[in-house]
Amino acid sequence: MAYKPQYYPGATSVAANRRKHMAGDIEKLREISDDDLTAVLGHRAPGSDYPSTHPPLAEMGEPACSIREIVEATPGAKAGDRVRYVQFADSMYNAPSTPYFRSYHAAINARGVDPGTLSGRQVVEARERDMEEVAKVQLETEMSCPGLSGLRGCTVHGHSLRLQEDGVMFDMLDRRRLENGTIIEDKDQVGVPIDRKVDLGKPMSEAEAAKRTTFYRIDNVSFRSDPEVIEWTQKVWELRTLYGFQPKN
Amino acid sequence: MKDPDSETVNRIQVEICPKRLLNPETAQMLLSELSTLDGISKAIIHGPRLPMTVAAGPGSGEDVGHAGRKVIVIADTALELSISVGRIRLEVADADVKEEVRITCEKVLPFQFEFKEGLYFHNRLTVSDYAKYGPDANVEMLGLSDPKSNNPICIIGSKE
């Protein structure tokens, strides 16, 4: 029988969503063009070539190395792309993804990525075209809600604040806003104005966000309501503690 | 300096904490309604800052132009919002005024809010107050602004 990874325990919708994010089994909800994505990331002009930091690997003459033979380089590494980042902030008010599950998604489903997980934001560093691939997947699918998640390279403040009256996560730099029912972004992720209005799509309704979220919340699906998750969390905690205990006598 | 306890001890301090951050129009409507009530001696609006320029990162110095940074008018006094209003703290004369404030909030706010009584203004000099205002500070003005900030205290109904 083929091995099927068991990513996350639990019987609740939050646990199921967490499994989906980790497995990459996520539903595509919107379309964002490559040029729009490049514009909001702000690392290069839309349509321009990828700047490189070294010549393509094929021209460099790599040293003989068994690991290099086993592991094929990612497209970005092959082309010699620069390392660039994408950073997300997700509202605690039932945003679809949490920083940890963005990281799990990137680390499990993409190669050559360096995910960084913080309390209120999550960054993925990778070769530019590899990073764009991860960013596109995370933006276009149920992992993001344009109203409750945001591309924020700096000044991420907002993930733990109450939502604005229109249901959108607060953004100190006003990078995106609700216009005619959709979220429009007219600045890149660090707050520099761009020459276009990027339509990030319709924000999720409160009910849909509650259904798709990976946040345990007492006013939606509480952590304590999932005995299997508690059992495994406690087991991992216990084993980590015991394995660190080394009696000398 | 006047005895801080002599006049303010009987007043009630309340905090209004709406479920959502208020947009400038709702904030103006609520504050205007509150300004018509007699018996409110102090008010603070509190919330996340709306900066004029990007403070950090590669975009430092770019204008933000935040849509929430608007001039609102309360009882003929204009003030520019430099925050997104998240909490309003008031000092009111007695329990009747407190009840009027609660009714006003129910009338104006289109969503739920928390309404709590507590201690939200200090009435004795802190070290920062002493450093900024000196030993003869007006007790009535304490706690109305961030001592580190240059934003003036706004006196509603005054021409200053």
- Which domains can be identified in chain A, with CATH numbers? 13-243 (3.90.320.20)
Contact at CB, B48 and A190, closer than 8 angstroms: no
pLDDT at position A240 over 90: no
Q: Residue B44: is it exposed, middle or buried by C-beta count within 10 angstroms (0-12/13-18/19+)?
A: middle
Stretch A107-134: mean pLDDT, rounded?
96
A158 contact residues in B (CB cutoff 8 A)? 48
Across the A:B interface, residue pairs with CB atoms under 8 Å apart total 73
B147 min Cα distance to partner chain A (Å): 22
**Distance spanning both ends of chain B, measured CA to CA:** 24
Search chain A and give the residue with CA nearest B66.
A174
B21 contact residues in A (CB cutoff 8 A)? 161-165, 170
A170 contact residues in B (CB cutoff 8 A)? 21, 48, 84
pLDDT at position A8 over 90: yes
Contact at CB, A154 and B54, closer than 8 angstroms: yes
pLDDT digits (tens, 9 = 90+) for B93-135: 999 999 999 999 999 999 999 999 999 988 888 888 888 888 8
Report the predicted TM-score, pTM, of the whole model to 2 decimal places: 0.90
Percent of chain A with pLDDT over 70: 100
Task: Tell me which residues of chain A, numbers 201 to 240, contact chain B at a CB-CB cutoff of 8 Å.
Answer: none
B68 contact residues in A (CB cutoff 8 A)? 174
Q: What is the pLDDT of residue B146?
A: 75
Nearest to B57 among A155, A165, A166 (CB): A155
CA count, 13 A, side-chain hemisphere, A239: 5
Query: Domains plus CATH for chain B?
Result: 4-55+65-141 (3.30.70.260)
B155 min Cα distance to partner chain A (Å): 27
Q: What does the alpha-carbon distance between residue A82 and residue A129 come to, in Å, rounded to a whole number?
A: 9
Q: What is the pLDDT of residue B1?
A: 46
| Averaged pLDDT score across all residues of chain A | 94
Does residue A157 belong to the interface with chain B, where contact is any CB pair within 8 Å?
A: yes
Does residue A193 belong to the interface with chain B, where contact is any CB pair within 8 Å?
A: yes
Contact at CB, B59 and A166, closer than 8 angstroms: no
Contact at CB, B54 and A158, closer than 8 angstroms: no
Q: What does the alpha-carbon distance between residue A128 and residue A184 come to, in Å, rounded to a whole number?
A: 24
B50 min Cα distance to partner chain A (Å): 6
pLDDT digits (tens, 9 = 90+) for A184-214: 999 999 999 999 999 999 999 999 999 999 9
Stretch A51-80: mean pLDDT, rounded?
94
Stretch A143-149: mean pLDDT, rounded?
97
B18 contact residues in A (CB cutoff 8 A)? 162
Residue ranges, chain B, pLDDT below 50: 1-2, 4, 160
The H-or-E segment that residue B1 falls in is: none
The residues with which A89 forms a beta bridge, in sequence order, are: A121, A150
A177 contact residues in B (CB cutoff 8 A)? 67
| B32 three-state secondary structure | helix
Q: What is the pLDDT of residue B159?
A: 52
Within 10 Å of residue B91's Cβ, how many Cβ atoms? 22
CA A122 to chain centre: 7
Q: Give the pLDDT band (50/70/90) at residue A230.
A: very high
Contact at CB, A190 and B26, closer than 8 angstroms: no
Burial A70-100 (b: 16+ CB within 10 A, else e): eeebbebbebbbeebbbbbbbbbbbbbbbbb
Does residue A107 belong to the interface with chain B, where contact is any CB pair within 8 Å?
A: no
- ipTM of the complex as predicted: 0.88
Place of tokens 């394995």: A243
Does residue A179 belong to the interface with chain B, where contact is any CB pair within 8 Å?
A: no
A189 min Cα distance to partner chain B (Å): 9
Comparing C-alpha atoms, which of B90, B80, B60, B72 is closest to residue B32? B72
Q: What is the pLDDT of residue B2?
A: 47
A153 contact residues in B (CB cutoff 8 A)? 57-58
Q: What is the pLDDT of residue A249?
A: 58
B121, two tokens: 């203004």
Within 10 Å of residue B82's Cβ, how many Cβ atoms? 16
pLDDT at position A24 over 50: yes
